[in-house]
Chains A and B, each alone.
Chain A
Amino acid sequence: MESKINELLQGPIIVINLGLQKFAESLEAQKVEVVQVDWVPPAGGDKEMLDLLERLL
């Protein structure tokens, strides 16, 4: 079975972009399929909740 890494190298790459919108735009300019995620800190950045969610979600 082909590794997921080589699948990536063979393309097409399909991207989920978390954060900087510019990165998504530059990928779109190269005709790459990309979803821009306007990322916000999960659980509003509450670390205690993040730890719980890591185990439960």
Chain B
Amino acid sequence: MPSGFVIRKNQYYDSVFLMGISKRIADVPGVQRNAVLMGSETNKRLLADIDICDPQIDAAQPNDLVVAVIAETQQIVNDVLRRLDEFLLGGVQVASTSNPHSFEEGLAQKSNANLAVISVPGEYAAREARKALEAGLNVFLFSDNVSIDEELDLKQFAAEKKLLVMGPDCGTSLIGGIGIGFANVVRKGSIGAIGAAGTGLQEFTSQVHNAGFGISHAIGTGGHDLSDQIGGLTTLAALEALEADPATRVITIISKPPGTKTLARLIERFKTCTKPIIGCFLGAPAKPHETGANFQCAPTIDEAVWLAIRALGGEPDSNKADFSTEERQWIGREKASWSPEQKYVRGIFAGGTFCYQSQQIFRDAGILVYSNAPLEAKNKLRDSDQSLEHTFVDMGSDEYTLGKPHPMIDGTLRKQRILTESRDPQIAILLLDFILGYNASMDPVGELFDAILEARQNVKKRGGNLTVVASVCGTDGDPQDLNLQIKLLKEAGAIVFRSNAKAASFCCELLK
């Protein structure tokens, strides 16, 4: 039987430790016997007993390590002896009880990681993202306050390395059914999505789910990706990946309008895409973009959902855009309840996309709306805290969230604003959005419930009625109980829609 040995001079190990090493060597396939011992006289006799004899072994000292292996082939013997350090060192890393504190330490724990989710302060975010890219990981960059230059730099580097940078300021992605960041529980399917805004993607994916269809992947890009400075680097990478992805059959892109150059570049790319593409560029002028054989435009997220389903050969409920008879009856009932000075709608939004999409719907209905995040600069509120006529406030904008929790996580900011609005005698409609899903508040309606009741009470005291219109973005699979959230809203007297577009349209109907 082939055998061999090595002697390490002056390498003392405890005998119990060496027994452990011996056991590990014994587990190597083909190893018959082995001895891992210090060179004491007793031990040398043990070696002789298994026919391992050599003048070098006779000369070994009690502080010398002797390792002998008997195996089926000489190659196994040599291999084990060559790998001795692995056996001696292996499996005895200093185990850590606390979490790692740096990307490198994290990577050391999961060297096969393929995605870094980064939510560190913006000033450090680009460095961490770059480290992740260097290590070959895709990046989901939730952090904001990353400069355009840094973003471009990261995205160019990612393009070189054929990696994806979702973000910065990316709130939502769904990869193969897994929600990252703020995401709803959505069934898997064949609709792919690329989105600049988190709530836009949440609304789209939830509605696809609620319509009985599913999402392959929804890839967040961050809000600046389609600007001409960035040139849609992530959108293009995502498009290529979704085109190559066997699970995806149709691709929807949801964003604010792209920069002129970037739009041209996108449309050029769409022409060669082998899968149908639906573009939903919120806030874009009402006239349709250039379309092509495989490129259609949707003015709202709802319509993007319908187009995507149609592209799969499905048929969404044809009356989706219309209001039910019951809903139509509510319009008359609500309007009749207002006192003469009640004229305006106040939208107090948690989701930026919802604020934006609602403005577009009002614009297209010919109603002027002011906002802290307006479609056009001329409609910007002079003071974000002071509503003017019809006003939609994005409570998730930086001015409100600096050092305070985002309204999707905590209702405090919106609660205060709702009560303030209710003291304005001209308010007729309160338009709200509620967003469910991972990482959002576990009880978004409950947090505002008392404020809604109190607001309605305030208006009632003045002899009028506050019409509360709400949309809920979520699915029956979300960690929050969707039905309970809707039930609570109805208890608070709200008219509830499952889409923001529909809630906003309903408000337009109320104002006609």
Contact = CB atoms under 8 A, between A and B. Distances in A.
**A and B: direct contact (Cβ < 8 Å)?**
yes
Interface of A: 3-20, 22-24, 26-27, 29-30, 32-33, 35-42, 45, 50, 54
Contacts of B178: 11, 13, 27, 30, 32
Contacts of A12: 176
Nearest to B129: A18
B142 interface: yes
Contact of B136 (A4, A20, A39): A4
Nearest to B175: A13
Contact of B245 (A6, A22, A24): A6
Contacts of A15: 113, 115-117, 180
Interface string B415-451: 0000000000000000000000011000000000000
Given A32-B178, A35-B100, A50-B127, A4 B163 contact: yes
A36 B161 CA distance: 25
B138 A19 contact: no
Interface in B134-167: 136-138, 142-143, 161-164
Contact of A42 (B127, B132, B176): B127
Interface stretch (B65-73, B103-111, B296-304, B464-472): B103-111
Given A8-B164, A18-B120, A39-B120, A23 B180 contact: yes
A37 B100 contact: yes
B218 to A, nearest CB: 11
Contact of A23 (B98, B119, B175, B244): B119
Given A8-B138, A16-B107, A50-B127, A37 B114 contact: no
A9 B113 contact: no
Given A5-B164, A38-B101, A13 B124 contact: no
A55 B202 CA distance: 40
Given A5-B164, A9-B216, A30-B178, 10 more contacts: A4-B114, A4-B138, A5-B163, A6-B244, A9-B175, A16-B110, A29-B438, A36-B106, A37-B103, A39-B128
Contacts of B103: 16, 18, 37, 39
Contact of A41 (B115, B124, B137, B181): B124
B390 interface: no
Main secondary structure of the interface of B (DSSP, over half): mixed
B101 A40 contact: yes
Contacts of B102: 37, 39-40, 42
Give the interface size bracket for B toward A.
Answer: 35 or more
B181 A9 contact: no
Task: Please provide the 10 A-B residue pairs with the shortest distance between their CB atoms, ordered closest to farther.
Answer: A19-B119, A26-B438, A37-B106, A16-B106, A5-B241, A20-B119, A11-B176, A38-B99, A14-B113, A17-B117
Given A5-B162, A26-B179, A29-B438, A38 B137 contact: no
Contacts, number: 144
Contact of B116 (A11, A16, A41): A16
DSSP class of A's interface residues: helix, strand, loop or mixed?
mixed
A46 B117 CA distance: 23
B217 interface: yes
B18 interface: no
A28 to B, nearest CB: 11
B350 to A, nearest CB: 17
A39 B241 contact: no
A50 B103 CA distance: 14
7 contacts: A7-B114, A8-B114, A13-B115, A14-B114, A16-B107, A26-B179, A30-B178
B112 interface: yes
A23 to B, nearest CB: 5
B145 to A, nearest CB: 13
B119 A18 contact: yes
Contacts of A26: 179, 183, 438-439
B99 A42 contact: no
B237 interface: yes
A8 B142 contact: no
B100 to A, nearest CB: 5
B118 interface: yes
Given A3-B162, A16-B103, A26-B438, A9 B217 contact: yes
A8 B175 contact: yes
B265 to A, nearest CB: 19
B109 A23 contact: no
Interface in B208-236: 216-217
